Amino acid sequence: MPERVFLIGPMGSGKTTVGRQLARRLGMDFLDLDLELQARCGVEVAVIFEIEGESGFRQRESALLDELSRRDGLVLATGGGSVLSAENRRMLTERGLVVYLQTSVDQQLKRLERDKQRPLLQAPDRRQRLTELAEQRDPIYLSCADLVVRSSSISPPAMAANVARRIRQHIDGAQVS
């Protein structure tokens, strides 16, 4: 197993829910970058956005990613926009196995239906907003992913089992080459 597994993908792709269960399956610790940032700042991400703007939030996110991406035995769920920074992408790709949990806008809308917390989701037309984010970010996710796993409507335990199986296949394939 890799020392570190980094989950990337859009909001609502299952990074946190699946990540917790994946970490258990792999015998690793789990952290969510956004939740860890909130714990350290003592306020929710939305408040950081409100006070410091997206650029202030991204600076804090990058500094924490630098720290956490060095920890061994960790499954880390990143924020959906963590990959926007070239430096963040470099940290992720150099320090661990990057798994992109790919999902559809329809699936995101379903999973995020009641979410009122995410700053980038506060838009009059959520579908349009998620579509715009997908158009911008999907190519970036694909460019830095070691593995792409379709985040489907199966249960989180089944999804975690699928991701763990794919990681093992990836590692086995890398050792054969």
Identify the structural domains of the chain with CATH numbers, from first to last.
4-176 (3.40.50.300)
Instruction: Indicate whether 119 pLDDT > 60.
Output: no
Q: Is 168 annotated as a binding residue?
A: no
Q: Is 79 annotated as a binding residue?
A: no
Q: Is 15 annotated as a binding residue?
A: yes
The pLDDT tens digits of the residues spanning 5-55 come to 999 999 888 899 999 999 999 999 999 999 999 999 999 888 998 899 989
> Stretch 123-146: mean pLDDT, rounded?
89
CA separation (Å) from 90 to 24, 47, 69, 97, 146? 26, 28, 11, 12, 13
* Per-residue burial over 94-129, b = 16 or more CB atoms within 10 Å of its CB, e = otherwise: ebbbbbbbbbbbebbeebbeeeeebbbbeeeebeee
Which pLDDT score is estimated for 127?
81
Q: Is 173 annotated as a binding residue?
A: no
Q: Is 34 annotated as a binding residue?
A: yes
Tell me the DSSP string of the chain. Answer: --SEEEEE--TTSSHHHHHHHHHHHHT-EEEEHHHHHHHHHTS-HHHHHHHHHHHHHHHHHHHHHHHHTT-SSEEEEPPTTGGGSHHHHHHHHHHSEEEEEE--HHHHHHHTTT----GGG-SS-HHHHHHHHHHHHHHHHHHH-SEEEE--SS-HHHHHHHHHHHHHHHHHHHHH-
Q: Is 137 annotated as a binding residue?
A: yes
Residue with tokens 């926007």: 84
Instruction: Indicate whether 58 pLDDT > 90.
Output: yes
The pLDDT tens digits of the residues spanning 68-79 come to 999 999 999 999
Q: Is 127 annotated as a binding residue?
A: no
The pLDDT tens digits of the residues spanning 88-118 come to 999 999 999 999 999 888 887 776 666 666 6
Q: Is 103 annotated as a binding residue?
A: no
Which pLDDT score is estimated for 175?
61
pTM over 0.75: yes
Which pLDDT score is estimated for 4?
98
pLDDT band at 128 (very low <50, low <70, confident <90, very high): confident
> Stretch 168-173: mean pLDDT, rounded?
89
